[in-house]
Structure 1
Amino acid sequence: MRTYTLLGADGHACRSATPGTLGGHRRIRLYGRLDCPSALRAIARGGYTRHRVFFADENTAVGAGYRPCAVCLPHQYTRWKANRESTTS
């Protein structure tokens, strides 16, 4: 049986029998869809993959402290940004 390494809400890697539904970037701490045009462009340029992480779902990504991608998850990003601005004001 194939296993996948996903990042858990605690930020630690965990093994899973199912692949992740979201990808992320460890250094800039953002997550998005696996078919995100921005991430795919970065991968095509030869970057990004070294710091790529995967999540089972959005709640796990948020729990691990990652923010949504503005390109492929614009509604989630807008909500995240509004919440962030309201807590820093």
Structure 2
Amino acid sequence: MSYTLTGADGRPYTSARKGTWGGHRGGRIYGRLDCPAALRAIARGGYVKNRVFFANEGTAVAAGYRPCGACCRELYQAWKGARDRGEPWSP
């Protein structure tokens, strides 16, 4: 089986391995695959057409995505604080 993941350059590629992080292309947000906020959006019929997957968290960040405030609360707070101070952020 093959999977479509998003690379650090933001482009899709085929992988033999499943992604470990999910994201939303429109909001440029990444989070856990079991994120309750994402699962609620999917259950309502939204989110799916903009869903992307990443091999790891570093790839999501390199592609310009930020942590989800629902499932990655501490990472989100760190990202937000760095953004508010005008500093670069890395997990």
Does TM, scored on the shorter chain, surpass 0.5? yes
What residue ranges of structure 1 are gaps of 5+ in the alignment? none
Q: Which runs of 4+ in 1 moved over 6 A?
A: none
How many residues are matched? 87
Q: Give TM-score, length-normalised by structure 2.
A: 0.93
Give 2:22's aligned residue.
Answer: 23
Question: What is the root-mean-square deviation of aligned Cα atoms in Å?
Answer: 0.9
Match of 1:44 in 2: 43
Match of 2:10, SS? coil
CA distance in 2, matches of 1:51, 1:26: 5
* Deviation digits for residues 3-51 of structure 1 (CA, Å, limit 9, x no counterpart): 1100000000011111000110000100000000000000000000010
Measured in 2, the distance between the counterparts of 1:8 and 1:22 equals 12
Which residue identity lines up with residue 45 of structure 1 in the other structure? R
Structure 2: stretches of 5+ with no match in the other structure? none
